[in-house]
Structure 1
Amino acid sequence: MRTPWLAAALAATAVLPAVVLPAAAQGVSDGKVKIGILNDQSGVYADFGGKSSVEAAKMAAEDFGGKVLDAPIEIVSADHQNKPDIASNIAREWYDTEQVDSIMELTTSSVALAVQGLSQEKKKIDIVTGAATTDLTGKACSPYGFHWAYDTHSQAVGTGGALVKAGGDSWFFITADYAFGYSLEEQTSTFVKQEGGQVLGSVRVPLSTTDFSSFLLQAQASGSKVVGLANAGLDTSNAIKGAAEFGIVAGGQRLAALLFTLADVHGLGLDAAQGLSLTEGFYWDRDDASREFGKRFMERTGNMPNMIHAGTYSAVLQYLKAIEAAGTDETEAVAKKLHEMPVEDVFAGKGTVGPNGRMFHDMYLMEVKKPEDSKGDWDYYNVLATIPAQEAFIDPAKSGCPLVTQ
């Protein structure tokens, strides 16, 4: 069943009136289109997105032809070190002096929220693929802000909802101590309780923690059926390694990796990761198109893409398509096209963008294969279920975004 906003969006894409812009707004303002990929390239999320996301952005620019409206496309990047102040300073310099037109990726929710706020102030488009908080398209939404690959709601619906239905009706959370972790725990808890389960407790853990001993002991002592890891990247990997040492799974508890990607599974290895339930928006071995993309990505990076990498490719490609459709790189015109145009590419399949900037696409519930079931490197997932776009993400009317009219 289509929601009213989705029906309207699809109707709008069927017959779009020509947009007539003033002569001064036509074309590319400074002779080039410059896109900044701002993310963690040296810390806990370096494999999660990192330099591979930069390569994904370059692939999109190349696949588009290297130019848009006869202007060259330039990709620049920087490491924000997971610090909002550093990210904001880089973004401000990019906007004010480096002629950057749009910033994307933005791993870490606190960083993404800070840069989205600055982008709104500067009237620049940002497209988030690496951060998870639903506030980006909720209370902190922006007319120029877009959220692309996944969010805490999609992860909670996928992994959390599936495990409760499978009998995991009591949970204890080990939660990253910042906005992303809080949101992921809160939304997963909501789904657990809606399905008749209960939350026995939680503990908050600083970013980049290496020793999870005390936190895992609390989870073990809780007697919960499921230990929910509301963190990501190396933090999740370290928690899983510690859980193995403490015999968490051997003792009868299940681990739920609420945000874990193919890159993380590869780093951890199948011996430790086997049996994990997780949710991603992309898998390289899903169909012929994803396999072709994966092969090209592997040739450039030495890795198969996860949903952040493929999502970044999609975001850059759609931004360029929007500039082309608008006939200008002027922010208001491009943002309008981003809201109107369907998203059709190797990542999204057939996606749509809501009035709050949320890109709607299917998500996939995965189970990590046992070592003996894997056919080789990167053959890591069994796809258990497809989560339809309208279930995976929050209805814009219920998102809390003040830009959405009922």
Structure 2
Amino acid sequence: MLSRAVTPHLVKTYGNRWFMVTAETMDGQAAEQAMAEALLAEGGEVVGSVRTPFGTTDFTTALAQAKTAKPSAVILNLYGWDLVHALKAYTAAGLVKEQIGVGGMIGGEQIGRPLGYANNAGIWGLIWDPKINSESSRRFIQGVIEKYHHTPTSRCYHGYAAMTQILEAIQRAGTTDTQALIRALEGHEFDGLKEGRSYFRAQDHQHVQDVLVGKAYGKELGLGHYQLLATVFGDPVASTQTQNACAL
């Protein structure tokens, strides 16, 4: 869902010749596969790729290889501190001057904050953002601020949404039995703090929800580190049950 939502915006902004930098992890490989498939659907091509060990702090060599390939964009299939370090290296390597864009399947406030505005760049898929225009999202933000004295990130959203749904499922099922909870969650629609509907698809348990596309701010312009470019409803970008089968 994230890759299908963000790829058209990456292609429109930067072009469709990509170089991939991917973490040597299962989620890194899954992101690379999803982004490559979405790019192919847009008529693009992967002109090169490199994989980096999880926990890499120096991406100088990887980005030098990317620069040599002369792509229109470098796609970072990384997360956490790996992504923070890679984006700092992207800025240091001067790829902007080479008109090589940057982005990927997933970013967020948890990346933007330690990265800082000076190194913040690219177009990213976002799971949640503090600028979502829904009343429940605003209440969530206010609740976190009142208790923890900071604006939540999408990691906070993950925890809140997951714990809320499991506790409500226990209430509906009247038990903590695993199979009973699965049945209570299958097909269940709930307030996912977003504009569109959020629900667990019964046949494969896919959480169908809004996907956001954001452009990283290079300076402080408002709440959060990303300008929201689009809110993409979940149903049009969700894979079918057959497509969802793991092919790694």
Q: TM-score, normalised by structure 1?
A: 0.57
2:125 maps to: 279
Aligned match of 2:145: 298
Equivalents in 2 of 1:202, 1:158: separation in Å?
22
| Deviation (angstroms), 1:359 | 0.9
Letter in 1 for 2:217: K
Amino acid at match of 1:366: G
Bigger Rg, structure 1 or 2: 1
SS at match of 1:336: helix
Cα shift at 1:207: 0.7
State the distance in 2 between where 1:348 and 1:337 align: 23
Superposed CA offset, 1:183-215 (max 9, x none): 111111111111111111100000111111111
SS at match of 2:47: strand
Give the structure 2 partner of residue 398 of structure 1.
243
Identity %: 25
Q: Is the 8 A contact 1:283 1:290 kept in 2?
A: no
Q: Matches of 2:63 and 2:192 in 1, distance apart?
A: 41
- Please point out which of 224, 237, 241 is paired with 2:88: 241
SS in 1 for 2:186: helix
Does residue 388 of the first structure (1) align with residue 233 of the second (2)?
yes
2:206 aligned residue (358, 364, 368)? 358
RMSD: 1.9
Shift of 1:362: 0.8
Task: Kindly provide the CA deviation profile for residues 20-59 of structure 1, in whole angstroms up to 9, marking residues without a partner as x.
Answer: xxxxxxxxxxxxxxxxxxxxxxxxxxxxxxxxxxxxxxxx
Deviation at residue 348 of structure 1 after TM alignment: 8.0
Structure 1: 4+ residue segments shifted above 6 A: none
Aligned ranges 1:81-100 → 2 under 5 Å: none
Report if aligned partners of 2:170, 2:181 keep a CA contact under 8 Å in 1: yes
SS at match of 1:371: coil
Per the alignment, residue 138 of structure 1 pairs with none
Q: Distance in 2 between matches of 1:210 and 1:302?
A: 30
Deviations 1:217-274 (A, max 9, x none): 0001010000000001111111111111111112110011332111210111112114
Q: 1:327: how far off?
A: 1.9
Count how many residue pairs are aligned between Structure 1 and Structure 2. Answer: 244
**CA distance in 2 between partners of 1:203 and 1:215 (Å):** 7
- Aligned runs of 1:140-151 on 2, under 5 Å? none
Displacement, 1:302?
Answer: 4.3
Q: Which amino acid aligns with 1:385?
A: A
Q: Would the aligned equivalents of 2:14 and 2:73 in 1 still touch at CA under 8 Å?
A: no
Q: Is residue 73 of structure 2 the alignment partner of residue 226 of structure 1?
A: yes
Asked if 1:202 corresponds to 2:49, the answer is: yes
The answer for unaligned runs of 5 or more in structure 1 is 1-153, 402-406
Cα distance between partner residues in 1 of 2:194 and 2:229: 18
CA–CA separation in structure 1 for the residues paired with 2:191 and 2:136: 12
Do residues 170 (structure 1) and 12 (structure 2) align?
A: no
Alpha-carbon offset, residue 324 of structure 1: 1.2
Where structure 2 has 5 or more consecutive residues not aligned to the other structure, the ranges are: none
Give the equivalent residue in structure 2 for 1:25: none
Q: Is the counterpart of residue 161 in structure 1 residue 5 in structure 2? A: no
1:92 alignment counterpart? none
